Homo-oligomer: A and B are copies of this chain.
Amino acid sequence: MAENKNQKLKKYNKNLNYSYTFGAFPTIELIKAKPDAVLKVLISTSFVDNPAYLKLSEDCGRLNVEIQVNDKLVNRLSPKDNCYVVGVFEKYVLTLSENESHVVLVNPSNMGNLGTIIRTILGFGINNMAIISPGVDIYDPKVIRASMGAIFNIDFQYFNSFEDYLNCFKHHNIFTFMLDGQCSLQDFDRYDSSLYSLVFGNEASGLESVFQSYGKSIRISHSEKIDSLNLPISIGIALYQFSKNKF
């Protein structure tokens, strides 16, 4: 993807084999965590005077990544007017570890939520996430932005079905989070050390009742005054409880 091929950089869509970070902070995270994936960094003229420019140019220099000043291209690619830095990177394929606990999202549909979830699980020491298809495109710049760059510090993998996931990870204890889960999270004490997979459904529809039969089903008990907690908050609470002995 040489400089003279800039014309070919397209506005993001999920079929591209590259994606973008918009803004200095996620771009710095990208360069730090996934240096081999970086293709180039584009900046606006006005960013050269920004204090973060020095840090960015040092990082790029060390890794031999090209920084290109190109206002027109930054404006064309980025969704908002106030974006001055664009990282261009090649999508990469990861596989989850058998020796780590996982969060499993079944059919997540909201990009902002997914980014927030990534940041939250990383905060509680989980860096393996499975997505059961169909689900939102994790490489969409909206997800990356909402994750504040945390996406570059987790491993993620898509599976065609929950059964496919289970076949790969037979030794994980499965906990499915459901409104009618059989035991209440509030009754859990500090959780022991075995590997676990915490499974959450779609924002609107949750997990189908068949998920009652995988492992143990859990509800986060709440008042009847609301229908449900929102998905990122449910995941934050679940991870808080499951990681209590680590923090």
Query: Residues of A at under 8 Å CB distance from B?
Result: 116, 119-120, 122-125, 127, 148, 150, 153, 184, 186, 220-223, 225-227, 229-230, 232-233, 236-237, 240-241, 244, 247
Contacts and interface: CB of A to CB of B under 8 A. Distances in A.
A233 B240 CA distance: 10
Q: How many copies does the complex hold?
A: 2
A119 B123 CA distance: 23
A125 B232 CA distance: 19
A220 B240 contact: yes
A188 to B, nearest CB: 10
B236 A229 contact: yes
- Greatest chain B CB density within 10 A among A127, A148, A222 is at A222
Contacts of A220: 240
B153 A225 contact: yes
B232 A123 contact: no
Nearest to A185: B240
Nearest to A227: B148
Nearest to A154: B225
Contacts of A237: 236-237, 240
Contact of A150 (B186, B225, B240, B247): B225
Nearest to A149: B226
5 contacts: A116-B233, A124-B223, A186-B247, A220-B240, A222-B247
